[in-house]
Amino acid sequence: MKRRVNIGVGLLHRPQLVYMDEPTVGIDPQSRRRILDTVKLLRDEQAITVLYTTHLMEEAQELSDRVAIIDHGEIIALGTQDELTQKVGEDDRLEFTVGTQSISETLLASLQQEVEGVSQVLYNAPEAFTEGSERTLPGKVTVFSRRGRRALPDVIRLLNHAEIEVDAVEVREPDLEAVFLALTGRALRD
């Protein structure tokens, strides 16, 4: 409630520029959503420029027309989300849930060598749900590809040829978190 009041007071004189420094830290989900919706309203309907700082990449991605990535107090990248993604050349991630069978290093190498545009293949082997449990969590193959969805048929063909059952496929395009990590070379920090 206090943050919403602070935002309201800051808007009383109808400014052209509003600065918000991590306005959603430590608040409940409903209040967070209300603040995000307010920022969109200011930007879209009242043509107010909002300078919004956050450590939460999903907020920056949802709210921003332009993004500045700051590391150790210096702006290291500035542009639209598309410009920043193109700058770092991040590949799409194709994530395959592959059941409980194990996958050979040979197959993983084949995926990287035989499928055009694949830069890296990672494998998380199946593991027991809990210690001593007969239930097993499925394995996951993650393929990084600059061809995105167009690489799916080739990857699935190789997995099927090796008799690997694919339970689910998810395609993830690069997001601001991937861009941040690529530019800073470090994990996200508080």
Of residues 169, 177, 119, the one with CA closest to residue 147: 119
Tokens 């409903």 locate to 30
Share of the chain above pLDDT 70, in %: 89
Share of the chain above pLDDT 90, in %: 38
Of residues 187, 123, 130, 174, the one with CA closest to residue 148: 174
Which CATH architecture fits 2-87? 3-Layer(aba) Sandwich (3.40)
Count how many residues are written for the chain: 190
Domain ranges of the chain: 2-87, 91-173
For residue 74, name the pLDDT band (cuts at 50, 70, 90).
very high
| CATH superfamily assigned to domain 91-173 | MTH889-like domain (3.30.70.1340)
In the prediction, which pLDDT does 134 show? 60
In the prediction, which pLDDT does 136 show? 61
For residue 86, name the pLDDT band (cuts at 50, 70, 90).
confident
Helical pair 152-161 and 105-114, crossing angle rounded to 10 deg: 150
* Token representation of residue 162: 């090796």
In the prediction, which pLDDT does 11 show? 77
pLDDT tens, residue by residue, 92-112? 889 898 876 778 889 889 999
How many Å apart are CA 19 and CA 22, to the nearest integer? 10
Q: For 68-75, what is the mean pLDDT?
A: 92
How many Å apart are CA 54 and CA 161, to the nearest integer? 46
pLDDT tens, residue by residue, 31-49? 899 999 989 998 899 889 9
Q: Does position 142 have pLDDT exceeding 60, yes or no?
A: yes
In the prediction, which pLDDT does 168 show? 92
